Amino acid sequence: MQDTRRPTPRRGCGFTLIELLVAIAIVATLAAIAIPTMSDYLRRGRIVEAVTRLADHRVRMEQFFLDNRRYDDGAGNCGYPVAGGADAFAVECVLSATGYTVSATGLPGKGAQGFVYTVDETDARATRAVPDGWVASRTCWVVRRDGSCG
């Protein structure tokens, strides 16, 4: 006896267009949430570099003062290495015999552009500039978007 049943048509393998569009929409939504959060997190990590270097520089300046009873060495040397290729901030200082001001300025293309932090011989810490969307403070080093200090 012969089989008279018709073979059932095979459904194609793979995804339908609707399934693909739903998957793309989910990935796009997750990326829209994750990318700004991640870039903010990375920026805050670079800020830690700046405030750490400023605090370190302040300690070096105070040690120099204890040894020499003045902040400058007569040659105008700041006593801190110039920013390297991987540094996100350039550190500069202004010296006199009785005081100093050290500033860390964010470098373009390093994720820190727009930030300027300072410290002086009285340990007065200030945020002189921040990028758009951040809140600056004249009395501390801002480490978060809302203006919180670190």
3-state secondary structure of 128: strand
* Total of domains in the chain: 1
The amino acid that residue 135 corresponds to is: V
The secondary structure of residue 90, as a DSSP letter, is E
Measured in degrees and rounded to the nearest 5, phi and psi for residue 107 equal -90, 145
In a domain, 115, yes or no: yes
In a domain, 60, yes or no: yes
Residue ranges making up the domain that contains 26: 17-129
What are the Cα distances from residue 120, in Å, to 38, 58, 88? 32, 8, 21
Q: What is the pLDDT of residues 26-66, one digit of tens each?
A: 999 999 999 888 888 888 888 888 888 888 888 888 888 88
In a domain, 145, yes or no: no
In a domain, 28, yes or no: yes
pTM over 0.95: no
Task: Give me the numbers of helices (H) and strands (E) for the chain, helices first please.
Answer: 1, 4
